[in-house]
Amino acid sequence: MTPLLGGVNVISAGAPLFGEALRTQGVSVEEVEWRPPADGDAALAGALARTWQTCVDEANAVALRRVIHAQQVLIDVRPAGEVIPGMTRDMVLHAGPPIEWQRLSDPVRAAAIGAMIHEGLARDEEEAARAVQLGTVKLEPCHHHQAVGPMAGMTTWSMPVLVVENRASGNQAYSNLNEGLGKVLRYGGTGPDVLARLDWMRRVLGPTLGEALRRMPNGIDIRALIAQALHMGDECHNRNRAASALLIKALAPHIAALDSVDATERQRVLEFAAGNEHFFLNVGMAASKAAMDAAHGVASSSMVTTLARNGTEFGIRVSGLGDRWFAGPSQVPKGLYFGGQSADDANPDMGDSAITETAGIGGFAMAAAPAIVQFVGGDPRDAVTYSQRMYEIALGESEAYTLPILNFRGTPTGIDIRLVVQTGILPQINTGIASRRAGVGQIGAGLVNPPRECFSEALLALAQALPPTVSDTSSGRSL
Amino acid sequence: LSPSSDATLRVSVRRNSYADSVSLLQVTSAVAALPGVLDAALVMATDLNQEVLRGSNMLPAEASDAGPNDLLIVVRAKDAISADTALADAEALLAERRPVTPHDVTEQPPRSIRSAHRRQPEANLAVISVPGPYAAAEARQALAEGLHVFLFSNNVSLEDEIELKQRGREKGLLVMGPDCGTAILNGVGLGFANVVRRGRVGLIGASGTGLQEVSILLDRAGQGISHAIGTGGRDLYEHVGAITTLQALELLGDDPATERIVVISKPASTDVAQRVLQAAAATGKPVVACLLGMAADAPPGVELAGNLYQAARLAAPSGQWDNLNFDNLPRLRRQTGQDQIRGLYCGGTLCQEAERAIGAPNGHQLIDFGDDRYTRGRAHPMIDPSLRNSAILAAGADPRVAVLLLDVILGFGAHSDPATAVAPVVQEAVARAQESARQLAVVAHVVGTTGDAQGLERQEALLRGAGVHLFGSNHHAAVAASLLIEGGR
C-alpha cells in the first residue's frame, strides 16, 4: 500500500477551508482551482468519471511516448502520386474533416477548383463542380492519406510534397509546399499567376528540393530544427521566421551544388524560399503529422491526434477512437486584421496546420514566441500565459521542444480530451485568418479554439468504447 | 591527458532521448561534484561531441554506435562503485523536474487533481470536498493518480462508492468516504477533527462524529491516539462489504505506533460487522468495537462497547475517567403532554448514540441535521447553524417538548464560535416556553478539547451562561435527558 500513516502531503479539491485547516497544521497542500467539469452537464460528467481508468492512462502513456520520441527527418520531395498512400490521379486532397462539395466555403471551393484546373481534371468551375458531383473526381481529407496541408490544403497527383520520415516508428507523413503569401491557392486564389507559380513549383521547385535532399545522407533533422527555432522566437505555426531561415541554411549549399539545375533556376529556388517566412510551415506540419500518426490507434487512449478545419467544420480525432471524426462548426479567429479588413471579412477557420498544436508546438509553444503578440494581439505576458494554460490539458511535456522563459520546461504535449472536458480549457491555436472571398488571401492572424462539442462527443464515445467497469457489472444488483 | 590506470570509465547510452544543452550542463556540473568522480560529461552524441569526448579519453567503446539522437552519460571515477553511483545519480538528476517557474513568471493555478499532482509529485492524499454529483469523478481521477482519497463530499451514490473502494483496494489505496467527516493521520486532522493528544490508540470509524467523540474523550482522559481513519458511513453496508474498514484494520494492525484499536460504526449489515470483528481479532491487537445498533458475537481479543464513552474507556483503561454523576440535575416541572425529548444534532452518530441511550422513539424526536436530506445545497450544520437554530426555536414553541438535547462541535472545519451562534437561540427558545408557562431544560455536550481553536472552556462557559446543562460525553448528556423526563412531573 502507498504509505499514508507516515505523513500526509495533500492535494485539495473543493472547499478551501479544508486546505486552509491543513496548512495551519503545517501540511503541504496544493489547491486545485476546481470548477464543475463539463460545464455542469451531468451526463458528460458521468462519462468523464468513467474515463479515469488505468487502461486509459496506460494507453495515453504509450501514445504520448510515441509523440515525444518521434524522430522526424525531412528526406525528400516527390510528386504526391508517387508517395502518398491511396492517392489517385482523380483525387483532390483537402484540409480538415470530410465535407461535401455543397458545404464548402468559398475560398476552399475556389481552391479545389484551382487544384483541379492545375491537375487537368477540369477546365473551369462548372466542370469541376460536375466532376465532383458525378464522382469522377474524389474529394478526400489529407488526413486520410498521412498528409496535411495548410489552409485549403489542396493536394493533387502531380503536386510536389515533402516527405518526412519518423525514424522512431518508421512511418512517413507528407505535406504540399508552401506557396508564399498573397494570392495563393491555399487561400482560394486561382488566377493565372497562381497557376503559373504552381506549375513552376511542380516543374522546378519540387524536383530541385527533392534532389538536394536526396543528396544529404541523413536528410534534415526536423525535430532538432524545431527545438532550435523555438529558442529563436518561433512557435512554428504562425511564426516560422527562424525555422525557415534554419531550413534554408541547411538546404542552400546542396541546392547550390546541383549542376543538373540551371543556375538561374537555382537562384530562383533560393530566392523563393528566402522570400517566404512560412517556407518552413508545411515541413513542421508534416513533422507533426509524422509524430501524431505514430501515436494514433492506441486502444483506450484519450489523446487527440488530429485537430483540423476545412473552413466549414472543425474536426478532431482521438488515438483510441479510430478514424472517427468529431466535428463542430469552425469559428472565426480572434486577432488582428490587416488594413481595411475586419472580422466581417473573415472565413471560418481552416487548414490542417493545427496539427502543430496537436504535437505540442504552435499555440502550445507560444511562450517561446513573445514577438507573435504583435501579430495576433495581446502582450508578451499573454504568450507565456497561453502556454502555461495548455499544461492543464496536456498529458505530458516534450523532451525536445523547450521553453526558455519557463526555465526550459518542455512544451505541453498531447491533448487529453478528458482534461479538456474536466477543465473547460480548449486547445489554443495560432492561425492565419483567410478572407471569406476567394483569392483575396490572408487578411489577418489570431487565435482560435476548437468547438467544445468535438471534445464532449469524443469523450462520450470513449466512455462507451472502454471496457466495462466494476459499477457497470454490478449495476444489475439491487442495492 | 593520461588518466590514472585505476580510474573507472563508465557510460550509459540513453537511446533516442533528447535533452537541451543547458539542462545537460547543469546536470554535468552536479555529477562532476559527486564524491569520487574525476570527470563527467552528459552530451547528445553528435559527431562533434563524440570527437570532443574522444579527445579527452571520455568515449568508451560501448558508446561508439551512439548517434545524434542518443544521450551519453559518461563518468570517470576513482573506483567502480563511485562511477556506478554517479551514473545512477545522473539518471536521477535528469529525471528530476526543472524548477517550475522563474520568479518573474506568474504561476497559473492547477485546474485538475492531475495537474496539481504534477506540481506536487510527493503528494499521497487527495482531499475532495466538491459537490456530490462531481465527487466520484474527482475521486477516480485521484485514484488514477495513485493518491489515497479523503472524500468529504456526500450525496455520492452507493454504486459509485462500491466502485471507488474496489478500485482503491486493487491499487492499494484507501478511499475514506464518501461522506467522510473526519480523519487524523499522523497527527494531522482532516475534515472536521479536534486537536487531540498523540498516543497509542488507533481509531477506525464509519462515522465522523463518532471518531471525534472517541478522540476527544480519550484526550480529556489524558490519553491519545495514533491515527483515526474515517471510512464513510456506509462502509459496513452489505454491498460495500467494509472494504475501507478492513484495509484500515490491516494498516493499524501493522502500525507499530498503534497498540489498541477502536472500530466504530453506525447500524449496518450484521454479516459485514461479523467479518469486521473477525478481521479485528486477526490483527492480534486488543480491539474495542462499538457497532451501534448491531448484535454481533465478539471473537476473542475483541470487546464490544455499547456506546462511544464506553468504547473510549475500554480502549484506555489506564486513563483518568471521571465518575460522572447526575446528582445536580434540576427537577423538571412538566405540563400535561409535555414529555418529549427533542434532540437536535449536528453529528449523525451522536444522534444515534443518543437514540439508543434514550430508547427512542417513545414519543421523543431526534434529528440529525448532518443527514444528506438537510445538506443538499447547503453547508453542514457544524459550519452553518441556521437550520438547527430554527429547529431550536420551534422546539421552544412546541408544547410537547420538555428537554432539548444538543451537540456542539469544535475543531478544524467547524464553525469558528459555535457557542456564540447557538447560546442566544437557546435562551430565546427557553423564553418562548416560559411565555406559555413551560419549563424547558437544555442539555448538551461539547465535542472539543482545550487544544481546539474555538477554546473549550470559553465555549462551555457561554453555554452554561445560557442555562445549558453540560455533560462530559454525548452518552451522558442523553442519559441525563432521559432522567430529566423520568424525574420530572
Express each pLDDT in B217-236 by its tens digit.
999 999 999 999 999 999 99
pLDDT in the model for residue A478: 33
- Cα–Cα distances (Å) from B459 to A25, A52, A94, B208, in that order, read 22, 45, 74, 21
pLDDT for B177-204, tens place per residue? 999 999 999 999 999 999 999 999 999 9
Is the pLDDT at B300 greater than 50? The verdict is yes
170-189 in chain B: CB under 8 A from chain A:
171-174, 185-189
A122-149 pLDDT, tens digit per residue, is 999 999 999 999 999 999 999 999 999 9
Residue B323 banded pLDDT, cuts 50, 70, 90: confident
Q: Which of A326, A281, A283 is nearest to A455 (CA)?
A: A326
Is there a contact between B173 and A33 if contact means CB atoms under 8 Å apart? Answer: no
Beta carbons of B444 and B422 less than 8 angstroms apart: no
Judge whether residue B296 has pLDDT over 90: no
A7 part of contact set with chain B, CB < 8 Å: yes
Asked if residues A310 and A104 have their Cβ atoms less than 8 Å apart, the reply is yes
- With contact defined as beta carbons under 8 Å apart, do A444 and A338 qualify? yes
- What is the rounded average pLDDT of the residues B95-112? 74
**Shortest CA distance to A279 belongs to which of A310, A236, A316?**
A236
pLDDT in tens, A93-113: 999 999 999 999 999 999 999
pTM recorded for the entire structure: 0.85
| Strand arrangement of the beta sheet that strand B441-447 belongs to | B365-368, B340-345, B401-409, B441-447, B469-471
- pLDDT score, position B376: 76
Q: Judge whether residue A266 has pLDDT over 90.
A: yes
Amino acid identity, residue A49? Answer: A
Q: How many contacts, defined by CB atoms under 8 Å, are there between A and B?
A: 223
pLDDT of residue A188: 94
The pLDDT value recorded for residue B51 is: 86
pLDDT band for position B64 (50/70/90)?
confident
Give me the residue label for grid cell 496541408.
A149
Please report residues of B whose CB lies closer than 8 A to that of A400. 18
The overall average pLDDT reported for chain A is 94
**Distance in angstroms (rounded) separating the CA atoms of residues A322 and A297:** 6
Percent of chain A exceeding pLDDT 90 equals 86
- The predicted structure's pLDDT at residue A475: 38
The most confident of the ranges A71-80, A366-375, B23-32, B93-102 is A71-80
**Range scoring the smallest mean pLDDT among A251-255, A400-404, B206-210:** B206-210
Chain B's closest residue to A35, CA to CA, is: B111
Share of chain B above pLDDT 90, in %: 72
pLDDT of A476: 34
User: In the predicted model, is pLDDT for residue A46 greater than 80?
Assistant: yes
The reported pLDDT for the residue numbered B155 is 86
Contact between chains at A5 and B186 (C-beta distance less than 8 A): yes
If contacts are CB pairs under 8 Å, which of residues 62-101 in chain B contact chain A? 68-69, 98-101
| Residue A239 pLDDT | 95
B263 to each of A419, B273, B303, B424, how far by Cα in Å?
Answer: 39, 10, 10, 37
The average pLDDT across B59-79 equals 89
Cell of A279: 517556407
Q: What is the pLDDT of residue B2?
A: 45
Q: What is the pLDDT of residue B124?
A: 97
Round the average pLDDT of chain B to a whole number and report it.
91
With CB atoms and an 8 Å threshold, state whether A31 touches B109.
yes
Dist. CA B377–CA A228, nearest whole Å: 53
- Any CB–CB contact under 8 A between B48 and chain A? no
Is the per-residue pLDDT at A57 higher than 80?
yes
pLDDT exceeds 60 at position B97: no
Residue to test with chain A: of B107, B117, B163, most A Cβ within 10 A: B163
From CA B143, how far away is CA B138, in angstroms rounded? 9
Of B124, B133, B162, the CB nearest to A2: B124
Strands (E), A22-179: 29-31, 72-79, 91-94, 138-141, 147-148, 160-166, 172-176
Flag whether pLDDT at B1 surpasses 50.
no
What are the φ/ψ torsions at residue B318 (nearest 5 degrees)? -85, 0
Q: Specify the higher pLDDT residue, B67 or B368.
A: B368
- Mean pLDDT score, A342-368: 96
Task: Quick: pLDDT tens for B251-275.
Answer: 999 999 999 999 999 878 899 999 9
Identify the residue whose cell numbers are 483532390: A92
